[in-house]
Structure 1
Amino acid sequence: MLDRHLHILGIRGIPAQHGGFETFAEKLSLFLVSQGWKVTVYCQEEGDHLGKESVWQGIRRIHIPIDRQGAAGTVIFDWKVSLLAGSESGLFLTLGYNTAIFNIIQRIKGQTNIINMDGIEWRRDKWGAIAKTWFWLNERAGCWIGNHLVADHPKIKAHLATRVKDNKITMIPYGGDKVSDADAALLEPYGVEAGNFSVIIARPEPENSFLEMVTAFSRVHRNHKLVVLGNFSPTNNPFHRQVMDAASDEVVFPGAIYEAPVVQALRYHSRFYLHGHRVGGTNPSLVEAMGAGCAVIAHDNHFNQWVAGPDAAYFKDESACAVLFDRLLTDDTAVLRMKEASKTRFTERFTWEKILREYEALLTQWYPNK
């Protein structure tokens, strides 16, 4: 049997603590180890133990200390990882293109590197001109430097196909876990009852339609709660203050919640999961909501339409969102239909088992010196 070794770049490490790519890397690493692969993951940490190694559930981890915080620390980390990985052998998978220019090292070394190109980061409203230029340049660099590209959504693949040939891109979306039950007692600290609240789980940024959704919900008294998860800093962030000022007393802001059982309970027992993202490919939070059988109300764009399918409810603006609340909060038949549609769509396309096997097939195809 071929001795297969995958190196995963582009994330801050495992076990997952930071976001969707870390969760995916953890899932993929554990799956590949179970299939006989060797897997190495590079982990960003504080300290002075450069090159120190450890093993976590059969996965080799190389720890790289970084003494800077935020985006600058991530850029330095990615540079160090590219240098360190340059001396390794096997196959390389880079998650994200934000520092793809550094992967020129893999190209120079003759290493085979597959790059997951994530979303169209340079289109996001939150970035200034310098950051947008950096992301745009790195998207171009990733398209050229990567031996093969992964797009997590058909529209992302279509976008990348304007940069490179279509046959250089494979579309594999993000995955999620099926949630068949959740402890309703975990809802008590938030003052909500199963079925009588809806939920938003996202970064509180303008491009995620927070203001539109909260304002639409708050137009009238609804005898229903809206739980808005996320790190809000109203003192320091004018947009956060604007959202909170627009909220009625039926809107709950519990902050960011990282305990998976609590988040699962909030999804599973909600009446609606609201998804306001306007930019991106296959969004992990939306997939996870569908895995919990949520009825989805989403911003109307081609990214969300493909993921959630035709039976979700869509809005273009605040007024359209308010109309959906007015109609659907009292329509139990529609809610049940939407929940069943989410379950069906999730099972058809987004289970981790399906996603991970598609990745292994692609990695096997591109493994060097087969």
Structure 2
Amino acid sequence: MKDVFIIGSKGIPANYGGFETFVDNLVSRQESKDIRYHVACMTFEKNTRNYTYAGAKCQEIRVPNIGGAKAILYDLRALDWAVSEIKSRQLRNGIIYILACRIGPFLHPYVKKFHKYGFKVWVNPDGHEWKRAKWSASVRKYWKISEKLMVKNADFLVCDSRSIEEYIQADYKQYQPLTTFVAYGADVTRSELKDSDAEVVEWFTKHKIVQDNYFLIVGRFVPENNYEAMIREFMASDVPNDLVIITNVEKNKFYEELRQKTHFEKDPRIKFVGTVYDAELLKYIRENALAYLHGHSVGGTNPSLLEALGSTDLNLLLDVGFNKEVGKNGALYWSKETGDLKKLLESVVKLENDARASLAKKAKERIKKQYSWDKIVFEYENLFTK
């Protein structure tokens, strides 16, 4: 039996978030009888629980709600829990799988502890967290140092993007890192909702949105997702459609900065509609969009992009390596050069049905063949049991 401890997700069952969805699918779709999962789950409550979910042993790890630093403290406390479990249960020769590179300066002594019991330390480096504009210069410097030390001290790295794997091998070649590529996953399934269902009618009526007649953006509201470029280009275009933006803008300084820069509130086509936590409703909204806009410029295989390719017929992606690697010939691409996205927006509203159908088919085939959750889980189980 191979014991696999998963550190770094907020926990399962997943409500939201890429790592959480990954862990949920990994354990709920488990096929191998030779793997036993142990999953750390974050909580702010004093009374912590341990419970079983889809066969995985889950342990809540309490951390104080102290802002960004809580993620570092959470990972460290989760590693302490893993060490304690391994000792008390006399486990041997398993895997500690750490998601993201938050704890590089603290990792080395833990690696020595885990090696003592025959456990290997694996890391998923995620994307270029040190490039994110939301962090101050000092925090970005910490992220880069942390990434370097995670790569240096890990036994093995699993990259969810070939571009990230190439970057790790090039930037840290002095450590001769052992890496492999296993993508993030998605499903190609239709929403169970119908246009007459109450939640559908209520949402579209509330926001005054016409089905099949809107451009859509879904993602975290951060500068590196290029909201400013997409909104500016949309405002400059003459398309009659709405731009529906599903994101978290509550108490967000970036939102106010962007409003002052672009004055998007004066364009009635631009609609910030908040977040949608109902997975079926979000899938329905994706399926009934005229096109999806994706401006992410940082990260590996982005979950919202996979969901879009599996749900939305027409996908317009920022032309960067991460996005082209995923979308290939199943999407159309735009650059940040002034006027480029404007031109693309104006052309796609006139796109013939046959051309739309062809792109939709290619996008969904891409997900089915390369990014299905069953395929991803199979590849992980092969890795874990080797």
Identify the match of residue 74 of structure 2 among 51, 72, 77: 77
Task: Say if 2:359 is the partner of 1:338.
Answer: yes
Q: Give, as a single letter, the amino acid of the residue that structure 2 aligns with 1:136.
A: K
Identify the match of residue 309 of structure 1 among 305, 316, 328: 328
Partner-residue secondary structure (3-state), 1:29: helix
* 1:288-311 Cα distance to aligned partner (Å, 9 max, x none): 111114311011111111111134
Deviating more after overlay: 240-249 vs 272-281: 240-249
1:264 CA displacement: 0.3
Ranges in structure 2 where 5+ consecutive residues have no aligned partner: none
Identify the match of residue 65 of structure 2 among 64, 68, 73: 68
CA distance, structure 1, for counterparts of residue 343 and residue 24 of structure 2: 40
Task: Say if 2:222 is the partner of 1:205.
Answer: yes
Q: Give, as a single letter, the amino acid of the residue that structure 1 aligns with 2:360.
A: K
1:254 matched residue in structure 2: 273
Counting aligned pairs with the same residue, the percent is: 27
Pairwise mapping of residues 101-140 of structure 1 onto structure 2 (< 5 A)? 101-109=105-113, 110=115, 111-140=119-148
CA distance, structure 1, for counterparts of residue 364 and residue 126 of structure 2: 24
Q: Give, as a single letter, the amino acid of the residue that structure 1 aligns with 2:244.
A: V
1:244 CA displacement: 6.9
Task: Say if 2:194 is the partner of 1:179.
Answer: no
Q: 1:136 to 1:327 in 2, by over 3 A?
A: same
Q: Give, as a single letter, the amino acid of the residue that structure 2 aligns with 1:76.
A: L
Q: Give, as a single letter, the amino acid of the residue that structure 1 aligns with 2:20.
A: E
- When the two structures are aligned, how many residues end up with a matched partner? 362
1:169 matched residue in structure 2: 179
Q: Give, as a single letter, the amino acid of the residue that structure 1 aligns with 2:364.
A: K
1:286 matched residue in structure 2: 305
CA distance, structure 2, for counterparts of residue 171 and residue 294 of structure 1: 27
CA distance, structure 1, for counterparts of residue 320 and residue 33 of structure 2: 38
1:273 matched residue in structure 2: 292
Identify the match of residue 141 of structure 1 among 146, 149, 153: 149
CA distance, structure 1, for counterparts of residue 323 and residue 315 of structure 2: 10
Identify the match of residue 57 of structure 1 among 51, 54, 58: 54
CA distance, structure 2, for counterparts of residue 220 and residue 320 of structure 1: 10
Partner-residue secondary structure (3-state), 2:30: helix
Identify the match of residue 196 of structure 1 among 213, 216, 221: 213
* 1:12-35 Cα distance to aligned partner (Å, 9 max, x none): 111113410011011112233764
CA distance, structure 1, for counterparts of residue 259 and residue 316 of structure 2: 24
CA distance, structure 2, for counterparts of residue 27 and residue 102 of structure 1: 29
Contact 1:49-1:64 at 8 Å conserved across structures: no
CA distance, structure 2, for counterparts of residue 273 and residue 41 of structure 1: 34
* 1:99-121 Cα distance to aligned partner (Å, 9 max, x none): 23433244111021111111111
Contact 1:198-1:274 at 8 Å conserved across structures: yes
Contact 2:152-2:177 at 8 Å conserved across structures: no
1:335 CA displacement: 2.2
* 1:261-311 Cα distance to aligned partner (Å, 9 max, x none): 111011111111110011211111001111114311011111111111134
Deviating more after overlay: 108-117 vs 237-246: 237-246
CA distance, structure 2, for counterparts of residue 335 and residue 150 of structure 1: 35
CA distance, structure 2, for counterparts of residue 117 and residue 277 of structure 1: 17
Pairwise mapping of residues 146-161 of structure 1 onto structure 2 (< 5 A)? 146-161=154-169
Ranges in structure 1 where 5+ consecutive residues have no aligned partner: 366-370
1:328 matched residue in structure 2: 348
Q: 1:218 to 1:227 in 2, by over 3 A?
A: same
Q: Give, as a single letter, the amino acid of the residue that structure 2 aligns with 1:174.
A: Y
CA distance, structure 1, for counterparts of residue 194 and residue 228 of structure 2: 28
Calculate the TM-score normalised by the size of structure 2. 0.88
1:368 matched residue in structure 2: none
CA distance, structure 2, for counterparts of residue 136 and residue 112 of structure 1: 23
1:220 CA displacement: 4.2
Q: 1:235 to 1:305 in 2, by over 3 A?
A: closer
Deviating more after overlay: 328-337 vs 259-268: 328-337
Contact 2:14-2:21 at 8 Å conserved across structures: yes
Q: 1:143 to 1:220 in 2, by over 3 A?
A: closer
CA distance, structure 1, for counterparts of residue 181 and residue 345 of structure 2: 34
1:29 matched residue in structure 2: 27
Task: Say if 2:245 is the partner of 1:228.
Answer: yes
Q: 1:244 to 1:356 in 2, by over 3 A?
A: farther
CA distance, structure 2, for counterparts of residue 102 and residue 82 of structure 1: 11
CA distance, structure 2, for counterparts of residue 214 and residue 182 of structure 1: 31
Contact 1:13-1:22 at 8 Å conserved across structures: yes
Identify the match of residue 6 of structure 2 among 1, 8, 32: 8
Q: Give, as a single letter, the amino acid of the residue that structure 1 aligns with 2:272.
A: F
* 1:246-273 Cα distance to aligned partner (Å, 9 max, x none): 2521121111111101110111111111
1:235 CA displacement: 7.2
CA distance, structure 2, for counterparts of residue 8 and residue 211 of structure 1: 36
4+ residue runs over 6 A deviation: none
Deviating more after overlay: 180-189 vs 67-76: 180-189
Q: 1:102 to 1:184 in 2, by over 3 A?
A: farther
Partner-residue secondary structure (3-state), 1:218: helix
CA distance, structure 2, for counterparts of residue 319 and residue 265 of structure 1: 31
Contact 2:301-2:326 at 8 Å conserved across structures: yes
